[in-house]
Structure 1
Amino acid sequence: GCAEPRAPPASSAQIRYSIPEELTRGAFVGNIAKDLGTDVAKLAAANLQVLSDSDSQYFSVNVNTGVIMVSERIDREQLCGQNPRCFLHLKLAIENPVEFYRIEVEILDINDNPPEFPSDEVSLRIYELASLGARFPIQPAQDPDVGTNTLQTYHLSANENFNLNVKARTDGGKFPELVLERALDRELRAFHHLVLTAEDGGSPPQSSKIRITIQVLDANDNHPVFDRPSYGARLVENSPLGTLVVKLNATDVDEGPNGDIRYSLSSHNSAALRQIFAIDEQTGEIRVQGNLDFEEATVYEIEVEAKDMGSPTMEEHCSVVVEITDVNDNAPEVILTSFSSSLSEDAPPGTVVAVIHVRDRDSGEQGRVQCHVSPDLPFQLRKDYEHQYSLLTSTRLDREHVAYYNVTISASDLGSPPLSRHTTLPIALADVNDNAPQFEQASYEVLVAENNPVGSVLVTVSAADPDSEQNSRLSYSILRDVPISTYFRIDQDNGTIYTMRALDYEQDKVFQVPVEVKDAGSPALSSTAVVHVFVLDENDNAPTIVYPSVPKGSAFHQTIPVLAEPGYLVTKIVAVDADSGHNYLDVGRAGLTSQAQNYTSCFSPMSDQSDFLFNRGIKTTLLFSPQQAQPNTDWRFSQTQRPGTSGSQNGEEGGAWPNNQFDTEMLQAMILASANEAADGNSTLGGGTGTMGLSARYGPQFTLQHVPDYRQNVYIPGSTATLTNAAGKRDAKNSGSSGGNKKKSGKKEKK
């Protein structure tokens, strides 16, 4: 009961075993682990599976021992009928990596069936004038076993008139015939009783018997005779109904009814054959009346009999061998044995997606199958065995480019014309986090007025990520910098940036806010953008008098000579404003384009305003002038007009005010320090906390237009230059004396 493996070396892909039929359940077939040369523990870890081509699972595998066992009763005759060899085919599927091994199990016949006649008794009626050598067929016994176990011989009981002849057919069948060896004499013996024994070649042999009763009849002593002992024909499968196979011809020398012949298919023919062929009893023409399928049978042998109408009837038999020619009438079949409908987009080229099995029921070239897929797809087919292909990835995949594929596998045979079949496999790509989110802009520019409300919306930055699900779920953040984080915050969900405090142009004019967007993948991917925030100036600073320097809450005291003449220079007033742009002081309502400052005279109610003139010209001076004087075109005065503590100054000597270079340089230094303290603070263009290192492309633009230097408004006494270029310059040129600025009207000016 043990199977004997007939296998190539363990590295081969096919193993063959042979076992007898009718083994009990659990019977040993073979040890696959041993025959494959594989350790049993590895085999168990590889998730071994047995796949059968048939509906019944005749075998099972113990994954712990590698032993293949019989799991269901196997009847060779039921499986393979009269085929001399009977095979069951299995596939072993092993995972990690996927491998297939083909196992062929030959089912050997045992002598479990005796030959059997269709009945226990048969009767024959033979005329006494039957010719010597006449043959009388007996229904043969049937033995479903094959080889030596099937029917081998017949034995006829001893008698004086008949001999036994066994006729062998091309399909291996054996048909017994009684042959008349000695003439019959009904008057001598009217009935003959014989026994026919059928015996097979088993060990020990099995047999069965049939009783033959022969009635000897008188008269019609000639039987029909065919013009040839056998006939042959060739047809293509699927021949149309009514196709002529062959026309038989038999003759009978008797006259009248004894020579009138009728043709028929012998009862020896199977019921299936009778459904395929029909014979005309008058003409002897055999025609097709059913479907001819080469895949069902390649040859048919038809037993035909011709009977006369005598009494008793005499008959003759012949055989017609019909060969069937194959035509390409079966399209290939594609069977999925392994398939994964989801594939990660980062799967490397050569990844196995599916394993398919193809077959074609036709023969020869018409049964050979070729498979292919479209070259436009990133997949290819690899032929593993004669009828097995693997579908592999051929290139790198990108879900963001193509997320779903319908891969059509085309299987075509080599017939003429070829037949084909198409199978479509839906393959979806699973996303991996291989794309970083990207901002719509690499940088953003925002203008915002200073003194903005806390919580004001500056801008909304936006980014996109072509990945899917959590790999495209985005969050925004400001890259942590302590000064920046105290000014701005960002909504991590929608990218909206808000202010966290009021901005002060005089403190910070420009901010660079680095923003990061990050996806929720693992690991997360990110990118950054920069938001440039430019603060716009508002007129939120009042002018400040920087000269003369007077302590807060105190009054400025200036002494003038008693003999001061009209037009005498009392002092000059210098003021600065920390704002910029249109927020340039306006001098004398001269318009916004003026670079001068507007000074207005303010006199105490107790002072006599008629004694002093406040000159609001470009060179602002306070003059002693009890009467109106013409404006002076220059701010140079005679020595007698210079302010000072002494009134003994002469008016003839021309010179600049202050009195000397030392006084002028001291005044310049004092004004410059006050201006720098009020305007620059810690924040200048191109440096400081607020600018965050502003790039060069913003330098020229915003130096002149957005962050102007208000110090241009400051004039240094004794020089025609502004504060920005006053240092180190001094006009030493003496000018002639002037009468100063005078008013003709006695009207008093008020602030």
Structure 2
Amino acid sequence: MKIQQVQTYKEIKWQVTFLFLFSWLCHSVSGQLHYSIAEEMRRDSVIANIAKDLELDVKDLSPRRLRIVSRVAEKYFYVDLTTGNVYVKDRIDREYLCGAAATCTLTFDAMVENPLNVFPVIIEIQDINDNPPKFFPDKIHLEISESTSPGTHLVLQNADDPDTGINSIATYKLSSNQYFTLTQKTNNDKTTFPELLLEKPLDREAQTSHELILTASDGGNPVRTGTALIRIIVTDANDNLPVFTEVLYTVSISENTAVGSVVLCVNATDKDEGINAQITYSFGKTSESSLNKSMFSINPTTGEIKTEKQLNFEGTRNYELSVQAKDGGGFVTHSKVLIEITDENDNAPEISIASLSTPVPEDSAPGSVIALIEVHDQDSGKNGEVDCQILGTAPFQLVSSSSRYYRIITTGSLDREKVPWYNITILAVDRGFPQLSSNKCVTLDISDVNDNPPVFMESTYIAYLPENNLPGASIYRMHAFDIDTGSNAKITYSISETNTMSPYFSINIETGVLYAQQSFDYEQHKEFQMEIMAKDNGFSSMTSNTTLLIHIIDRNDNTPNILYPSTQTGGSSCFEMVPFASEQGSLVTKVVAVDADSGHNSWLSYHFIHTPEPLPFSIAQHTGEIRTSRVFQEKDVMKYKVVVMVKDNGDPSLSATVTMNFVVADHFQQVMPNKGNHFREEDTQSNLQIYLVIGVALISLLFVLTVVLVIISKCKESEPLPNIGPIGTHLYSQVDPGMLSKFNHGTLPLPYSYNVCVAMDSSEGDFTFIKADQNVPIDNLIDADDSGFGNENVKDTLSPSNTVQQAQPNADWRVSQAQRPGPSGAQPTEESGVWPNNQFETERLQAMILASANEAAEGSAIGGGTGTMGLSARYGPQFTLQHLPDYRQNIYIPGTTSTLTNAAGKGKSAAPSGGNKKKSGKKDKK
């Protein structure tokens, strides 16, 4: 027995080796690979080198992700990516996979990526003789009448062998006996059935039963056998067997046949009568009988076969049933029923994603593969053929890769900023009737690339910064946006290198907040312009620029500066002489002030600080002109001391004050008596010491007055105009040329003033002369006739001996009323004046006020008559002021009741003709 087992094992081993070698020679080199292997191969057995057969480099197998794609085959095979060999993964049982089919194959797809490709592979499973024949049942009970004549055939149940070909049942053998021999009968379907042939009559009385051994042998190597015990009971005579109408029944039914439907009806007849003719139907026992009997049932009386469960073509396509008919006498006959299941279109296509690349860069070129789709339909024929398409208008297309695979490729350019993601709906429709379909939605994200620069909302930004700001304070925030995402949208800000703004401003590179590096002064810097650059963090980075204008806003940080009268007289108060005969509304003087601020902060208003007694003067709030408010009376006080406050329009308001003394008198000779009487009236109750002091002061004043009168009388003999010159020279203080240069925007040269003033000592009630603190450069004076100037100094100019004869008036200096700029010529005087409504007009007004103040100072200092604008003989009408504009209109000349104007008619009427004639006479003498 052991020797037989060893021999059997060697024969099996040789057969497996032969089939394995045969499989290496049977694969195809066409479009698909074909291998042939034996079943029951051991695990990890090598089938073939698929990399070599597919002409793939072993080094590329892992990067290209070579893998097996199949619902069934991947359970039994696997690929080693290091060698490219295909190995057996699990035990392969051909009979379990394919049953009694002539051929048995397992198919799978070998898939690689980069580039994507699919290779169909078919592996044929060769049968080996691994199953012995078996009888179902292995104990056969037969009843035979003793009257059965010799030569009667008793058909037996054939043995079942799952193997195919030569490995299936080849022969039957019966144990030796004297009554029966074994024969074989072949049906139309090539099926062989063993039969017992009765060789001689039976005698129930001699032997009531017979036991025989039936042996079935297959044709494999080694040979496998199966046995069954046949027990024959000898009965009384029943000499006819049942006969089926058909030896083989075949029928086709749809897989959608309802449960309980009649498939077919078998029929058998028996020529006997009575109980021996009563036939009972049943299913015979086979290897698949348990499965078949669960799917179908047979009526034992009528022979109707019905369905018991729902059929499924995709599960089992054919059923083979063994039906037997047994009469009442115990005779049995057999028939076979073949049931074919026809396919119906009852399965919708199945869509699965074999490979998907997401997210997809938005700069992907058209034709890029983004996914591999597998479509499978369990139906067959037309019912299993599937057509696929993409629904909608997405820029994608399905391209067939094989019968079951489709590639999704791009058909156009992608833009994440317009469409950040796509829902691709794939529709699969089979070709059956009725058509079945299914769809699958694939979400595809689009990844961002840096294809959009940062964008500013405006091409130019304007920011406003009040002056005197704190250094380091944030003043503005720049903002740009980038429609990209991630690092591509992260923006950094910087000031363009072409700008020289680093000492003044800095910017936060992340937030775009602009900081002031220092405090700004509106009077020094009014505006800054810079280029701001926004740069994203993408690769490669993109930039954009915008312009930022920063306007410095003026604050009220400068107090008004009083130009006239000067506040720099060493503590002495300047005075103005007012003619006693001045009419109501006569112009006394004009307070001139400027403010370095701009806009509303530079709008000035003039006010008298409250005095305990009413004053006979009024001041214009907007122009600063001081006029008489009533006619003077003899009983009025001749000296008035007022404080003028100049206040700007800022918030908070800043102000400056100046003290002015007004003396009401027609001549200097009238000042002393009035003063003396005034002091005597006030000091009548003083002690003697005070009277002595006053007496000494009066004597000194009389002495000074006498000297002055002598000088005046001498000057009148030769030329009357210079007589008042020495006094008028010290009447008004000097205007700082540096200050005036800030407001000189016209074409005239800088004006000039003398820093000389006549003041009265408040303690002694005496007049004092305050001399100028600097020499007067003669180059700053303008005269139409410069023949008498040379390189004279100030003393020579003011002395009577160096006085130049006055020339004839030049009518070219007159300017029409329409050409007069400034508030005096362009708007009403007094309280009806209107403030300018913008910064430009305000600055222009300041410049005109400065020019007016200086010309007024020149006219007073030189001390000319009313007809010569207050100028001396040397600066008479030949001083034409040919440069425009002319700011001399409505300028008050101290000591007179006239107001300087450039109107032709007024000028002639105000100027006495004698002065000009004297000047002309002196010139003739020369």
TM-score range, shorter chain: 0.7 to 0.9
* Per-residue CA distance 1:641-698 (angstroms, 9 max, x = gap): xx9654877789424799xxxxxxxxxxxxxxxxxxxxxxxxxxxxxxxxxxxxxxxx
| Corresponding position of 2:376 | 359
The whole-number CA distance in structure 2 between the counterparts of 1:610 and 1:168 is 169
Please state if 1:283 is matched with 2:302: yes
8 Å contact 2:559–2:595 — kept in the other structure? yes
Contact 1:584 1:713 in 2 (8 A): no
The match for 2:393 is 376
Cα distance in 2, alignment partners of residues 382 and 725 from structure 1: 91
What is the Cα deviation at residue 142 of structure 1?
2.1
Say if 1:128 and 1:221, in contact at 8 Å, map to a contact too: no
Instruction: For 2:809, give the aligned amino acid.
Output: G
Residue matched to 2:254? 236
Distance 1:652 1:72 in 2: 135
Q: Matches of 1:706 and 1:65 in 2, distance apart?
A: 95
Instruction: Go from structure 1 to structure 2 and tell me whether the alpha carbon gap of 1:130 and 1:334 turns closer, same or farther (over 3 Å shift).
Output: farther
Aligned: 1:739 with 2:908:
no
Distance 1:297 1:259, change over 3 A: same
The normalised TM-score by structure 2 is: 0.60
Please tell me whether residue 335 in structure 1 is matched to residue 352 in structure 2: yes
* Comparing 377-386 and 270-279, the one that deviates more: 377-386
2:103 pairs with 77, 85, 100, which one?
A: 85
CA pair 220-507 structure 1, distance change in 2 beyond 3 A: same
Query: Which deviates more from structure 2 when the two are superposed, residues 702-711 or residues 218-227?
Result: 702-711
CA separation of 1:139 and 1:483: change in aligned 2, threshold 3 A: same
Letter of the aligned partner of 2:404 in structure 1?
A: H
Output aligned runs, 1:494-573, within 5 Å: 494-537=511-554
Mean alpha-carbon deviation: is it higher for 534-543 or for 108-117? 534-543
* Paired position in structure 2 for 1:478: 495
Structure 1 residue 581: Cα displacement: 4.7
Code of the residue aligned with 1:511 in structure 2: it is F
Matched residue type, 1:242? G
For 1:689, the equivalent position in structure 2 comes to none
Q: Residues 348, 134 of structure 1: CA spacing in aligned structure 2 closer, same or farther, 3 A cutoff?
A: farther
Correspondence 1:67 to 2:222:
no
Q: Show structure 2 runs of 5+ residues with no match.
A: 1-19, 572-589, 607-617, 626-643, 647-656, 669-726, 733-750, 759-782, 785-796, 814-836, 856-878, 888-901, 914-926
Which residue in the other structure is 2:338 paired with? Answer: 321
CA–CA distance in structure 2, aligned partners of residues 82 and 554 of structure 1: 136
Partner residue in 2 for 1:261? 279
Distance 1:70 1:80 in 2: 18
The DSSP-based 3-state class of the residue aligned with 2:257 is coil
When residues 624 and 307 of structure 1 are mapped into structure 2, their CA distance, relative to the original with a 3 A threshold, is closer
Distance 1:134 1:478, change over 3 A: farther
Q: Give the count of matched residue pairs.
A: 655
**Alpha-carbon distance change, 321 to 461 in structure 1, aligned in 2, over 3 angstroms:** same
* Residue aligning to 1:221: 239
Change over 3 Å in CA distance of 1:467–1:27 after alignment to 2: same
Aligned partners of 1:301 and 1:320 also within 8 Å:
yes
Aligned-partner Cα distance in 2 for 1:425–1:521: 29
Candidates 307, 311, 326, aligned match of 2:326: 307
CA offset at residue 141 of structure 1?
1.8
Aligned equivalents of 1:736, 1:621: Cα separation in 2: 26
**Residue in structure 2 matched with residue 448 of structure 1 by the alignment:** 465
Shift of 1:270: 0.8
Per the alignment, residue 96 of structure 1 pairs with 114
Q: Judging by fraction of residues, say which structure has more helix.
A: 2
Find the partner of 2:155 among 127, 137, 140.
Answer: 137
Please report how far the alpha carbon of residue 328 of structure 1 lies from its aligned counterpart in structure 2 after TM superposition.
Answer: 1.5
The answer on whether the counterparts of 1:442 and 1:529 sit within 8 Å (CA) in structure 2 is yes
8 Å CA contact retained: 1:155, 1:164: no
1:18 and 1:106 in contact (8 A); partners too:
yes
Q: Provide the residue aligned with 1:385 in structure 2.
A: 402
Secondary structure of 2:501's partner? helix
Deviations 1:399-449 (A, max 9, x none): 333334443333332222222333333433333333322223222122334
Tell me the distance in 1 between the aligned counterparts of 2:468 and 2:95: 102
Post-superposition Cα deviations, 1:30-58, rounded to whole Å, max 9, x if no partner, equal: 22232122333344554544455338654
Please give the alpha-carbon distance, in whole angstroms, between the structure 1 residues aligned to 2:844 and 2:254. Answer: 104
1:630 corresponds to: none
1:113 counterpart (131, 136, 139): 131
Shift of 1:143: 1.8
Instruction: Sort the Cα spacing of 1:385 and 1:482 in 2 relative to 1 into closer, same or farther, 3 A.
Output: closer
1:296 partnered with 2:315? yes
Seen in structure 2, the aligned counterparts of structure 1 residues 509 and 590 have a Cα distance that, compared at 3 Å, is farther
Distance across 2 between alignment mates of 1:740 and 1:316: 170
Q: Are the counterparts in 2 of residues 712 and 722 from structure 1 also a CA contact under 8 Å?
A: no
Q: Quickly say closer, same or farther: Cα 1:86–1:255, change in 2 above 3 A.
A: closer
Q: Which residue of 2 aligns with 1:679?
A: none
2:36 to 10, 18, 32: 18
CA deviation profile, 1:452-489 (whole Å, cap 9, x unmatched): 44345433222222333333333333224563222222
Measured against aligned partners, the alpha-carbon deviations of 1:368-415 in whole angstroms (never above 9, x if no partner) come to: 223333233343322211112233344333333333444333333222
Residue 240 of structure 1 and its aligned partner are, at CA, apart by 1.5
1:36–1:139 distance in 2 versus 1, CA, 3 Å: same
Query: What is the CA distance between 1:192 and its match in structure 2?
Result: 5.5
Residue from 654, 659, 662 that aligns with 2:809? 654
Relative distance call for 1:330 and 1:381 in structure 2 (3 A) is same
Q: 1:315 and 1:702, CA in 2 relative to 1: closer, same or farther beyond 3 A?
A: farther
Match of 1:408 in 2: 425
Within 1, Cα distance between the matches of 2:546 and 2:46? 73
Distance 2:199 2:439 in 1: 66
Q: Is the 8 A contact 2:73 2:107 kept in 1?
A: no
- Seen in structure 2, the aligned counterparts of structure 1 residues 264 and 739 have a Cα distance that, compared at 3 Å, is same
Q: CA deviation at 1:243?
A: 0.9
User: How far is 1:274 from its partner?
Assistant: 0.8
Q: Paired residue for 2:6?
A: none
SS in 1 for 2:500: helix
Q: 1:263 to 1:206 in 2, by over 3 A?
A: closer
The whole-number CA distance in structure 1 between the counterparts of 2:496 and 2:112 is: 53
1:4 aligns with 2:20: no
Mapped to 1, the partners of 2:164 and 2:912 lie a distance apart of 147
**Partner SS state of residue 41, structure 1:** helix
Taking structure 1 as the reference length, the TM-score comes to 0.73
Aligned-residue CA RMSD (Å): 4.9
- AA aligned opposite 1:126: I
Which whole-Å deviations, capped at 9, do the CAs of 1:307-329 have from their partners, x for residues lacking one? 2224xx23333333333221122
Identity of aligned residues (%): 37
SS in 2 for 1:113: coil
What is the distance in 1 between the residues matched to 2:753 and 2:474? 48
Q: Which whole-Å CA distance do the structure 1 matches of 2:757 and 2:91 have between them?
A: 138
Higher radius of gyration, 1 or 2: 2
Please give the alpha-carbon distance, in whole angstroms, between the structure 1 residues aligned to 2:666 and 2:506.
57
Q: Which amino acid aligns with 1:418?
A: Q
The runs of 5 or more residues in structure 1 that have no matched partner are 556-571, 626-635, 638-642, 659-700, 742-751
Deviations 1:608-631 (A, max 9, x none): 99668989xxx9999999xxxxxx
Corresponding residue for 1:698? Answer: none
Q: 1:722 to 1:706 in 2, by over 3 A?
A: same
